[in-house]
Structure 1
Amino acid sequence: MTDILPDGHAIEDAALDPTDQQEPMDLAEIDPDDEPVSPPPYGFDPSEVADAARVLDHVFATLRSGWEAWGTVEATVTELDVVLTDSCRRALGQIAACPLRMEPRGTPGAELDTGAALGREAVAAVGDDELALWTALIEKVRAPAATARLGELMFARKVPPAHEYARRAAQAYIDAVDSGDYQYDATVHLMRGWTLARQLKDQGIENAALDIMTARLNALMTGEFRERPGAVYPLLQVLCQNPRDTSRKQAQHEHAGAVLSTLAASETHDHLIAETAALRRKLLGSTASDKQRAAVDLDEIGGYCRRAENAPNAAVRLHFLERAAVVATKRGQRNEADRITALMQAIDPDELGLQVITTSSSVPAWIPESALDPYTQAPSWRTGVTLFCTDPCAPTGSVANNRALAARIGKGMLRLPSVLLDRGLPRATLTSDDEQYQHDLSRTAKVWADYQGSVLAAALRRVGDRYGIPELEEVTAALLDLGALDPRMARSLAKGFRYFWAGDYEAAAAVVIPKIETAARALLRDLDEPTFKVQISKVKPGGHIQLHPLLEALEKAALDEDWAYFLRWLLLGPVGRNLRNDYAHGHLDEVTSADAALVLRAAAVLITAAPIADDLGRRVQVAPMTVLRTRPARLTESVLIHVKRAAAGAFTAAELLRRELRGTPRQ
Structure 2
Amino acid sequence: MELPEPNSSDELIAELAEIEANETEWLVIGEKLRQRASDANDLQAGWLMTAFDYSLARRVGDYAKNAPPFGANFVTDQFAYPLPLGQVPAEVVALWSDVAERSTGDASQARLHHLLFELRQGNRGHHARAAAAAYLAIGTGTGERIQRVNCLHWSLDLSRRIKDNPGAELVHSPLVALASDSLAQVDSPEPGVALHSIEVLASDVPRHPQLADLLDRARVAYPDARLTGETIRIQRSLVRGEDSRLTKLNREHVLTYLAQADQLTGLMRMVNLEDAAQLATTYGLADLLKTATVGMQAMSFEELGLKETSYTVTFTAGVLEAQVRRYTQQSTLGDALSLLIGDAPPTGDIETTRAVAAHASKSAPLIDMFTVKHIGADALSRYTATTNEERVDEKLARAEMVHMTLAMDGFARILDSLMSNFTPTEDELIEVIGSADHVAVATATTIAKALMAFHASNYEEAVTLTMPRIETLARARLVELGELQFRVQQGHDRGQYPQLGSMLRALQPHLDESWSRFLRTFLVSQFGSNFRNELAHGFVDVVGGHQAALTIVAALHLALTPVRPDARS
TM-score normalised by the chain length of structure 1 = 0.63
Q: Which moved more, 1:164-173 or 1:426-435?
A: 164-173
Q: Which moved more, 1:145-154 or 1:220-229?
A: 145-154
Provide the secondary structure at the position in 2 that maps to 1:499.
helix
Provide the secondary structure at the position in 1 that maps to 2:280.
helix
Correspondence for 1:203 among 165, 168, 172 = 165
What is the number of equivalent residue pairs in this alignment?
526
Seen in structure 2, the aligned counterparts of structure 1 residues 242 and 540 have a Cα distance that, compared at 3 Å, is farther
Seen in structure 2, the aligned counterparts of structure 1 residues 219 and 225 have a Cα distance that, compared at 3 Å, is farther
Correspondence for 1:553 among 486, 506, 514 = 506
Residue pairs, 1:212-611, within 5 angstroms: 212-214=174-176, 217=179, 224=186, 227-243=189-205, 251-252=207-208, 256=211, 259-260=214-215, 263-264=218-219, 267-269=222-224, 272-285=227-240, 287-289=241-243, 291-309=244-262, 314-350=266-302, 351-365=304-318, 367-369=320-322, 371-372=324-325, 375=328, 383-384=332-333, 387-388=336-337, 391-393=340-342, 394-396=344-346, 397-414=348-365, 415=367, 416-417=369-370, 418-423=372-377, 424-430=379-385, 435-446=390-401, 449-450=404-405, 452-462=407-417, 470=425, 475-476=429-430, 479-480=433-434, 485-535=439-489, 538=491, 542-556=495-509, 558-608=510-560, 610-611=562-563
Seen in structure 2, the aligned counterparts of structure 1 residues 463 and 330 have a Cα distance that, compared at 3 Å, is same
**Contact in 1 for aligned 2:436/2:560 (Cα 8 Å):** yes
Seen in structure 2, the aligned counterparts of structure 1 residues 474 and 147 have a Cα distance that, compared at 3 Å, is closer
Seen in structure 2, the aligned counterparts of structure 1 residues 105 and 611 have a Cα distance that, compared at 3 Å, is same
Seen in structure 2, the aligned counterparts of structure 1 residues 203 and 532 have a Cα distance that, compared at 3 Å, is same
Seen in structure 2, the aligned counterparts of structure 1 residues 155 and 102 have a Cα distance that, compared at 3 Å, is closer
- Rounded Cα–Cα distance in structure 1 between residues aligned with 2:174 and 2:406: 70
CA displacement 1:42-88 (0-9 Å, x = unmatched): 2899xx9xxx9xx99x977x99454667999xxxxxxxxxxxxx9xx
Seen in structure 2, the aligned counterparts of structure 1 residues 340 and 584 have a Cα distance that, compared at 3 Å, is same
User: 1 or 2 for the larger relative contact order (CA 8 Å, sep ≥6)?
Assistant: 2
Shift of 1:442: 2.8
Seen in structure 2, the aligned counterparts of structure 1 residues 368 and 236 have a Cα distance that, compared at 3 Å, is same
Q: What is the letter of the counterpart of residue 231 of structure 1?
A: V
Provide the secondary structure at the position in 2 that maps to 1:356.
coil
**Contact in 2 for aligned 1:523/1:611 (Cα 8 Å):** yes
Shift of 1:125: 2.3
**Contact in 2 for aligned 1:428/1:574 (Cα 8 Å):** yes
- Rounded Cα–Cα distance in structure 2 between residues aligned with 1:374 and 1:112: 62
- Rounded Cα–Cα distance in structure 2 between residues aligned with 1:154 and 1:604: 64
Seen in structure 2, the aligned counterparts of structure 1 residues 292 and 494 have a Cα distance that, compared at 3 Å, is farther
Seen in structure 2, the aligned counterparts of structure 1 residues 429 and 298 have a Cα distance that, compared at 3 Å, is same
Q: What is the letter of the counterpart of residue 537 of structure 2?
A: H
Shift of 1:403: 2.8
Seen in structure 2, the aligned counterparts of structure 1 residues 207 and 389 have a Cα distance that, compared at 3 Å, is same
Residue 9 of structure 2: aligned partner:
41
Larger radius of gyration: 1
CA displacement 1:351-376 (0-9 Å, x = unmatched): 52413131303144155345347648
- Rounded Cα–Cα distance in structure 2 between residues aligned with 1:353 and 1:482: 47
Q: Which moved more, 1:146-155 or 1:351-360?
A: 146-155
TM-score normalised by the chain length of structure 2 = 0.72
Shift of 1:591: 1.8
**Contact in 2 for aligned 1:98/1:112 (Cα 8 Å):** no
Shift of 1:585: 1.0
Residue 656 of structure 1: aligned partner:
none
- Rounded Cα–Cα distance in structure 2 between residues aligned with 1:501 and 1:547: 27
Shift of 1:507: 1.6
CA displacement 1:260-317 (0-9 Å, x = unmatched): 46645773457634533432343333x342x444433333333444554555x62333
Seen in structure 2, the aligned counterparts of structure 1 residues 362 and 618 have a Cα distance that, compared at 3 Å, is closer
Seen in structure 2, the aligned counterparts of structure 1 residues 100 and 255 have a Cα distance that, compared at 3 Å, is farther
Provide the secondary structure at the position in 2 that maps to 1:420.
strand
Q: What is the letter of the counterpart of residue 345 of structure 2?
A: P
- Rounded Cα–Cα distance in structure 1 between residues aligned with 2:315 and 2:112: 74
